[in-house]
Structure 1
């Protein structure tokens, strides 16, 4: 059954760019107790886009908004001291832009915004201003 997508949320994993997808998934399952992944798509530093969940299913990206949101993340978003930083590689920037354009074609009314742009969210994620960067999509 198709979902009514109101948002396309951009995230960072808030990990080192060297963190593996399997380590991120293990954290979600073992530490957070999630049955579903946090994102539909995750982008590796080399720009490879990995789909973790079909968009017809609900992921755990933004509490209170998941049923109406597609969640996409890049690996990274913090420095070696866990301080938020936009450390997307050129390949990640290109892949993220490409995927967002594809999703906007499928869901033209969905608003692209960062995780931090949702109400009551107190994090820097995705460590850059997604509203400003993607306002013309």
Structure 2
């Protein structure tokens, strides 16, 4: 039976934009002890989208909300001092819009949210306000 997807969640890795997919996955496995990835899709600085898990899989994006959520993250989200910053490249913005738009076709009733939009989340992730971002993207798609 297919999962009922009610949330499409936007994340940042809170790493340097140069972080490698393999090092992020290694951190999840070896430091956090996760058997599943944190996200379904990860977007590199050049806009390349790496699929880490199929839509049918449950990942570790937002504690308590993963069974009904899909997760996409861009690599980056911190400045040189480790502070939260929206430093998505234009390629990442385009790729993220394409990923979310494709998911919205498959799951039209799903809400697009940032990680920080969930109850009791005390982080800046994804370092921008996902809801108005998605509204802008939707309007651009309709034109």
Counterpart of 1:82?
82
Write the distance in 2 (CA, Å) between the matches of 1:121 and 1:135: 22
Deviation by residue 1:21-70 (Cα, 9 ceiling, x = unmatched): 00000000011000000000000000000100011010000000000000
Q: Aligned-residue CA RMSD in angstroms?
A: 0.8
SS in 1 for 2:25: helix
Write the distance in 2 (CA, Å) between the matches of 1:109 and 1:89: 28
Q: How does 1:1-137 map to 2 (within 5 A)?
A: 1-135=1-135, 137=138
SS in 2 for 1:46: coil
Which has the higher mean CA deviation after the structures are superposed, 81-90 or 127-136? 127-136
Q: Which structure 1 segments of 5+ residues have no match?
A: none
Write the distance in 2 (CA, Å) between the matches of 1:80 and 1:109: 38
Q: Which structure 2 segments of 5+ residues have no match?
A: 139-143
Q: How many residues align?
A: 137
Q: Normalising by the residue count of structure 1, what TM-score does the alignment of the two structures yield? A: 0.98
Write the distance in 2 (CA, Å) between the matches of 1:107 and 1:135: 16
Write the distance in 1 (CA, Å) between the matches of 2:84 and 2:128: 9
User: How far does residue 132 in structure 1 lie from its aligned partner after superposition?
Assistant: 1.1
Hey, which bits of structure 1, 4+ residues long, moved more than 3 A? none
User: How far does residue 135 in structure 1 lie from its aligned partner after superposition?
Assistant: 2.6
Deviation by residue 1:79-133 (Cα, 9 ceiling, x = unmatched): 1111000000000000000111100000000000100001110000000000111
